[in-house]
């Protein structure tokens, strides 16, 4: 069996080939039928002539419909008129399934395409996104393996919140109540005591009630946790990681970017190091830019979109006021009203793709923060334990992989960056 990509290299010119695929387009003018066939590697025109084929086979080919599945045998020729430069002259065919009609033809409304996502995944655009997404996941893992990290896995069913109770999904768990995890961070923190540098890519679940272009209720969360390093060093690892992933896509996905009509010029500017700005300085700047933001305001999607317009590269926003973030962030010892944390805002209006920072590692500081935030220490007893037995300074991050795909591919919504999006209003297909 040959792949279409292999044929398009030209190495099989004038040779017999056999391909599997689906009908992308078809057109017949009586004695001659043109079938544009697609497989996972590309598309190619195949020409079937009535007087060169067995009559029964020719009739079947003539009547094929979009997305029918088949096997074609033929000879590769040069064809100056076709965009790929090659075509196959068909000598034999085996049809696996002829469709009556394929539902995706005219209606391209967002809701309809989501309803038939199980079929829409085959479109050229979606296939291009899936290939870039696959490469992003691959590059992410490669980066951390190359840096000497270990890949680990935490549980998806948990008993405590990481990011606050309002977005927890409850699940019955025998005679108890459990939750779907919002983040694997706490479990990664346990594993630095054996492995020092760890990462995971796993789903996180958040019952996000808002319908935004950047929230899913189930998303792929890439997280890392590193012993002995602080906020600054954590940010330098992350900026090299983002630089590496973007570069890999630019090197390996030009064809897919072209299908998505993604202008890659902005991606070429994404070179580390990235600018860093304290939250309080960002607020001052935002006011100078005419934005209606004041100290202690949280940055939402709209604010972040506005802010990123002022930067070509991703921007680290650091030192948030302690009240704005979760209890585990380490207060700056020189100024405890601020925490040693960072969000990374992706350019081109995307906004936050990473949240990270230094974790509290001293027991009394953690106890004090939990008390200030009214958290029940018994619910977090094992997490608190980590601060009792050989505790060490450490930092970590969480990256939304679907947000990264959304930004790199230049898509309209995060729902276009994942094959089967889960949102407040959608759990099928
Ligand atoms: P936001 O303010 O956008 O809701 P967050 O502050 O809740 O984000 P974190 O809790 O820091 O996000 O999670 C780490 C990363 O996970 C985020 O930077 C983002 O990339 C991703 N993320 C968080 N919530 C979602 C979601 N609902 N859908 C997709 N990705 C998400
Ligand atoms: Mg959130």
Domains contained in the chain, number: 2
Instruction: State whether 289 and 390 are in the same domain.
Output: yes
Cα angle value 126/128/129 (rounded, 5°): 65
Strand partners, 74: 17, 90
Q: Which residues contact 23 (CB under 8 A, 6 or more apart)?
A: 35, 36, 37, 38, 64, 65, 66, 67, 68, 70
- The residue range of the domain holding 292 is 115-417
Domain endpoint, select from 37, 67, 101: 101
Instruction: State whether 146 and 55 are in the same domain.
Output: no
Instruction: State whether 28 and 126 are in the same domain.
Output: no
Among 161, 164, 203, 219, which is best to mutate for testing ligand 1, by the most ligand atoms less than 8 A from CB?
Answer: 219
Domain-located, residue 429: no
> 360 to each of 232, 306, 383, how far by Cα in Å?
15, 32, 11
Domain-located, residue 423: no
pLDDT in tens, 284-308: 999 999 999 999 999 999 999 999 9
CATH number at residue 42: 2.40.50.140
Predicted structure pTM score: 0.97
* Distance from C-alpha of 125 to C-alpha of 284, rounded to nearest angstrom: 41
Instruction: State whether 35 and 156 are in the same domain.
Output: no
Residue 84: per-residue pLDDT: 85
Residue 222 C-alpha from the chain's centroid: 10
Ligand 1 neighbours by CB, cut-off 6 Å: 163, 206, 208, 215-216, 219, 221, 352-355, 398-400, 402-403
Instruction: State whether 205 and 321 are in the same domain.
Output: yes
Q: Which residues contact 307 (CB under 8 A, 6 or more apart)?
A: 282, 286, 291, 299, 315, 345, 351
Interval between CA 209 and ligand 2 midpoint (Å) = 10
Whether the pLDDT of residue 125 is over 80: the answer is yes
Q: Phi, psi (5° rounding) for residue 122? A: -85, -10
Instruction: State whether 226 and 369 are in the same domain.
Output: yes
Among 396, 397, 403, which is best to mutate for testing ligand 1, by the most ligand atoms less than 8 A from CB?
Answer: 403
Instruction: State whether 201 and 84 are in the same domain.
Output: no
Interval between CA 213 and ligand 1 midpoint (Å) = 12
CATH number at residue 213: 3.30.930.10
Task: State the pLDDT confidence band at 107, using cuts at 50, 70 and 90.
Answer: confident
Domain-located, residue 109: no
Instruction: State whether 88 and 123 are in the same domain.
Output: no
Going by CA atoms, what residue is nearest to atom 6 of ligand 1?
355
Interval between CA 181 and ligand 1 midpoint (Å) = 13
Whether the pLDDT of residue 17 is over 80: the answer is yes
Going by CA atoms, what residue is nearest to atom 24 of ligand 1?
215
Interval between CA 188 and ligand 1 midpoint (Å) = 17
Going by CA atoms, what residue is nearest to atom 23 of ligand 1?
400
Instruction: State whether 295 and 410 are in the same domain.
Output: yes
pLDDT in tens, 156-178: 999 987 777 789 999 999 999 99
Domain endpoint, select from 101, 136, 171: 101
Interval between CA 400 and ligand 1 midpoint (Å) = 6
Average pLDDT over residues 97-106: 86
């Amino acid at each position: 069996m040959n792949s279409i990509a292999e044929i398009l290299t030209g190495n099989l010119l004038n040779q017999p080939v056999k391909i599997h695929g689906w009908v992308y387009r078809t057109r017949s003018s009586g004695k001659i039928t043109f079938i544009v066939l697609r497989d996972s590697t590309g598309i190619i025109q195949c020409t079937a002539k009535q007087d060169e084929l067995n009559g029964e086979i020719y009739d079947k080919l003539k009547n094929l419909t979009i997305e029918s599945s088949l096997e074609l045998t033929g000879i590769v020729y040069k064809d100056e008129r076709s965009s790929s430069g090659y075509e196959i002259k068909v000598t034999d065919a085996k049809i696996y399934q002829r469709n009556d009609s394929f539902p995706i033809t005219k209606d391209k409304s967002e809701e309809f395409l989501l309803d038939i996502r199980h079929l829409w995944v085959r479109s050229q655009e979606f296939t291009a996104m899936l290939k870039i997404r696959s490469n992003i996941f691959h590059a992410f893992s490669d980066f951390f393996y190359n840096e000497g990290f270990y890949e680990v896995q935490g549980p998806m069913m948990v008993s405590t919140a990481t990011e606050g109770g309002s977005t927890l999904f409850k699940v019955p768990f025998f005679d108890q109540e459990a939750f779907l995890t919002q983040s694997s961070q706490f479990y990664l923190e346990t594993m630095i005591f054996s492995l020092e540098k760890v990462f995971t890519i796993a789903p996180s679940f958040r019952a996000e009630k808002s319908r935004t272009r950047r929230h899913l209720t189930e998303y792929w969360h890439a997280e890392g946790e590193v012993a002995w390093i602080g906020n600054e060093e954590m940010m330098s690892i992350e900026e090299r990681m983002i630089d590496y992933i973007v570069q890999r896509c630019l090197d390996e996905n030009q064809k897919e970017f072209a299908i998505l009509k993604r202008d890659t010029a902005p991606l070429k500017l994404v070179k580390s190091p990235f600018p860093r700005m304290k939250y309080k300085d960002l607020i001052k700047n935002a006011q100078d830019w005419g934005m209606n933001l004041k100290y202690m305001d949280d940055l939402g999607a709209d604010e972040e979109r506005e802010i990123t317009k002022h930067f070509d590269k991703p921007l680290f926003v650091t030192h948030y006021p302690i009240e704005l973030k979760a209890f585990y962030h380490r207060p700056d010892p020189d100024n405890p009203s601020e925490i040693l944390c960072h969000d990374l805002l992706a350019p081109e209006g995307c906004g936050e793709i990473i949240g990270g920072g230094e974790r509290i590692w001293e027991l009394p500081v953690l106890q004090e923060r939990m008390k200030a935030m009214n958290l029940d220490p018994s619910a977090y007893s094992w997490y608190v334990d980590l601060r009792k037995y050989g505790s060490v300074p450490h930092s970590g991050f969480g990256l939304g992989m679907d947000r990264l795909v959304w930004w790199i591919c230049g898509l309209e919504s995060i729902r276009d960056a994942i094959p089967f999006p889960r949102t407040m209003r959608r759990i099928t297909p």
